[in-house]
Amino acid sequence: MVSAVHGVMLTTDVPIKQYVLHLDAIAPAEGKFVIADLDERRVLIQPERAEQVKREIERYQQTTQYVAPNAMSKQ
Amino acid sequence: MDVNGPSTSHARAHPSDGAFVTFLSTLKDDSLDELYESSVWAVLAALRACDAIGKQIVLRLSFVSGGSIAGAELERWIADGDAGRRATARALGRLSRVRAIERVVDGGEAREANAMEVDVGTRGRDFEEDLERGSFVGTIRVRPAFAAHVRRALERGFVGLDADGGGAEGGDDVVELEVEKKVPDRATLSAYAKSKWEDLLLTLTGASDAFSKPGSKVSGRLDAQALFRAAGLTTSDASGDKKARKRNAGVTAEGFRFLLTTAQEQVWVLLTQYIRDESRTASATSAISFLLRLTFQRPGRAYAMTGVLSDTEQDVVRDLTHLGLLYTFDVKKRWYYVPTLLSSGLSGGFASDDGDNRAMVSAEGHVIVETNYRVYAYTSSLVEMEILRLFTRADYRLPNLYVGMLTRESVQNALRAGVDAEQIVAYLRAHAHKQVRKKKPSVPGTVCDQIRLWARDMMRVRSDECVLYCDFPPVGGFYNAVVAEATKRGALLWRDDIGRKLTVRADAHEAMKPVVAALKQSLGDT
C-alpha cells in the first residue's frame, strides 16, 4: 500500500544534515520532528517545525564563526 | 505622451540592459517613434547605449539603401561559434527593444501588425527565439527616422545638429566674458554636484531632511521624498512620523540596491520616475528630448536658458538644478545653466562600455580593504559612511576616516536587506582608493570570496514543502510510472530508486492523487 506523508524536505550539505539529526536525537520524545531520513543530504521533517529548525541551524552556524573583536569595545 | 506603468516595463525589461535602455523600452511605441523623429539626440543617446555589436549593426545598416538586410546575410557577419551568435541575438534584441530596428518578414509588414496585437512585452524577444531555432528569419531594417538621424550626425561631424546650435550665444563679447567669469571651475562644480547628490541620498536613508522640508536648505517644486516613494525606493511610512523614523526605516530592498549602484544608474532611476510623473502633462516628449540633448552637452560649459529654452525645458532645468545635475546662474537677468558631471554620463549606457562614469568614480576612490576584512574609507562624506555602514560593522569614525569590519553578521544583514553579494564586491572595487587600485585585485580575492561564501551560507538549507510517497510494492512498474508522471508535471523533487521513494511538491499533491490511484488500479496490483 502506497502511503503519502506531508512534510518539509530539507536539502542541505552533509554536516548540517547530521546536525539536524542530532537536534532530533537530543529532543525529548514529544519534541521529535524528523519524519524520514531520506538520503545523506535530505531529511523530511514536520512542516510546522521547519522554521524553528532553520533558526536553530542559523544559531549553530553563528557559533562556529570567529569575529575579530573591535579593539575599542569591551567584549 | 504616455508612459507605460511599471508592470509593463518589467515585462519588457531585460536584466542585461542598463537603466537607460530599460527606460527607453518602457516608453510606448508611438511615443518612442515620435521621440526619434523629433530629436537627433534621442537617436544618438540610444545608439550610445547599445553595445559594440549593436552599434556596428546600426552604423552599417544606416548606409545601406533601404536600411535593411536579410537575416541570412546578417548571419554571415557573425564569427563562428555560439558565443558570437548569442551576443548578436542579444544586441538585436536590445536594438529592437529600443525600437531602433524592426523586422520585416516576407509578406510585408504582416509580422509587425501581428506583434502589435500580441503584446508590447514581446518586443525584442523574437531574436532570442531565433537563436533557439538556429537562424535569423526575415529582413532586419533600421527604422528610417533612426537611420536618417545617424547619417546626418555622422556627416555633419556631430556639430550644428540643433537648429539653435546651443551653447552661450556669441555676438555680445562683454556678456560672454561675464558669463565665462561666472562659470565655476571644474572642481567647484563637481563638489557642488556631489554635495547635492549626497544630500539627496541622505534624504533617502532618512539621515537628512535637506530635500524633504519645504523652505529648508534647498527648495523647489520637486519633492524628492515623493520621487523616492514613487520609484519604490522607500515605503510611504518613511516620511510620516518623525519620531518613529529609525535609521533606514522605510527603505526598501530596491532602495538598498539603489544606494550601491553607480551614480549614473541612480540618476537614471530617479529621472525615469521623474519623467513618468511629468508624463501626466502633455510635454513629456520635449522634456525627454531636452534631457537627452543635455547628456551630450559639455560639463562645465554655460548654455543659455532665457529666450532659448521653452517653458517646459526651463522647468526641467529648475528641477535638475534641484537634484544637482545642473548649475544655474544669471548674468543681467539672463539665466544660464552649466551641466555638472552628474548629467554627463546620463545616457552612457553600458558601464563596461563607457569611460565617463568610471572616470568620475575613480577620481573619488577612498576605500581600502585589507585581507583581514578591515575596511578603511578616507572620506568625510556622510553618505559614503552610511553606505559602508550597510554592510560593515562600524568600528571608528574620525573626521576624515571611517574604519569598519566586514563581518559575517554585518554582511548577512545587508544581504537580508536585499543587497546581493556581487553588489557589495562591485561597490568596494568601484570605490577602491587610488593607492590600492595600483595593485591587481584592488580588493583582496579572499575577501571577495568570503563575501560570496557568506551569501551562499544563507542558502545552505533549502526547504521544500512536499509529500513523500513511499511503501511502493517492491516489484512491478507502479513506482516507475508514478515517477514518470511526477516528472512530467515538473513536481518531482527527489527520488530514491533503491528504496522506491519519491517526494513531490506539496502543491502538486492534489493533482497527483487521482493519477496515482488510477495507476494503482492498472499497475499496482499486478
Min distance A30 CA to chain B CA atoms (Å): 22
Q: What is the CATH number of domain B466-524?
A: 3.30.70.2610
Of the listed ranges A21-25, A66-70, B6-10, B317-321, the one predicted with least confidence:
B6-10
B91-150 pLDDT, tens digit per residue, is: 888 888 888 888 776 544 444 433 333 334 445 556 666 666 666 777 888 888 888 888
Domain count of the fold of chain A: 1
Q: What ipTM was assigned to the predicted interfaces of this complex?
A: 0.82
* Helix, coil or strand: residue B303: strand
Name the one residue in this structure whose C-alpha cell is 536584466: B15
Separation between Cα atoms, residue B465 and residue A49, nearest integer Å: 12
Which residues on neighbouring strands pair with residue B462, listed in sequence order? Answer: A11
B276-309 pLDDT, tens digit per residue, is: 776 666 566 777 778 777 777 777 777 777 777 7
CA-based angle B273:B279:B282, to the nearest 5?
A: 160
Q: Is residue A3 part of a domain?
A: no
Label the pairing between strands B492-496 and A34-39.
unpaired
B370-394 pLDDT, tens digit per residue, is: 998 999 998 887 888 888 888 899 8
Name the one residue in this structure whose C-alpha cell is 579593539: A71
Q: Is residue A75 part of a domain?
A: no
- Residue to substitute from B454, B468, B521, interface A, most A β-carbons within 10 A: B468
* Nearest-CB residue to A47 (from B465, B469, B524): B465
Share of chain A above pLDDT 70, in %: 92
| φ, ψ at B304 (rounded to 5°) | -75, 145
Mean pLDDT of chain B: 74
Of the listed ranges A40-54, B36-50, B239-253, the one predicted with least confidence:
B239-253
Q: List the alpha helices (DSSP H) in B108-185.
A: 110-118, 126-133, 144-155, 173-182
* Nearest-CB residue to A8 (from B405, B463, B494): B463
B407 touches chain A (CB under 8 A): yes
Contacts of A3 in chain B (CB under 8 A): 469-471
pLDDT over 80 (residue B13): no
- B503·A2 Cβ contact <8 A: no
Searching chain B, which residue's CA lies closest to the CA of residue A15? Answer: B460
Residue A38 belongs to what domain range? 8-63
What confidence score (pLDDT) does residue B219 get? 43
What confidence score (pLDDT) does residue B409 get? 87
Mean pLDDT of B85-96: 82
Searching chain B, which residue's CA lies closest to the CA of residue A54? Answer: B461
Which has the closest alpha carbon to B260: B308, B221, B205? B205
Label the pairing between strands B68-70 and B139-142.
antiparallel
- B503·A44 Cβ contact <8 A: yes
Separation between Cα atoms, residue B169 and residue B171, nearest integer Å: 7
Min distance A24 CA to chain B CA atoms (Å): 16
Mean pLDDT of B73-99: 80
Q: Is residue A48 part of a domain?
A: yes
Of the listed ranges B60-69, B218-227, B390-399, B437-446, the one predicted with least confidence:
B218-227
Contacts of A18 in chain B (CB under 8 A): none
Separation between Cα atoms, residue A50 and residue B92, nearest integer Å: 47
B406-433 pLDDT, tens digit per residue, is: 998 889 888 888 788 888 888 888 888 8
- A68·B503 Cβ contact <8 A: no
> And the C-alpha cell for B292?
537627452
A27 touches chain B (CB under 8 A): no
Min distance B515 CA to chain A CA atoms (Å): 13
Q: Is residue A1 part of a domain?
A: no
Q: Is residue A51 part of a domain?
A: yes
**Which residues make Cβ contacts (< 8 Å) with residue B150, sequence separation at least 6?**
B43, B44, B47, B58, B59, B62, B142
> And the C-alpha cell for A25?
536525537
CATH number at residue A42: 3.30.70.1220
What confidence score (pLDDT) does residue B402 get? 92
- B494·A50 Cβ contact <8 A: no
- Residue to substitute from B460, B471, B501, interface A, most A β-carbons within 10 A: B460
Exposure on the CB side of residue B511, measured as CA atoms within 13 A = 12
What confidence score (pLDDT) does residue B448 get? 92
Min distance A7 CA to chain B CA atoms (Å): 6
> Which of A48-57, B155-164, B336-345, B512-521 holds the top average pLDDT?
A48-57
- Residue to substitute from A18, A38, A46, interface B, most B β-carbons within 10 A: A38
Q: Is residue A74 part of a domain?
A: no
Label residue B50 by pLDDT band (50, 70, 90).
confident
pLDDT over 80 (residue B523): no
Q: Which whole-number Å values give the CA distances from B502 to A20, A39, A45, A62, B199, in the listed order?
A: 21, 11, 15, 33, 57
Residue ranges of chain B assigned to CATH 3.30.70.2610: 466-524
Q: Is residue A32 part of a domain?
A: yes
- B470·A2 Cβ contact <8 A: yes
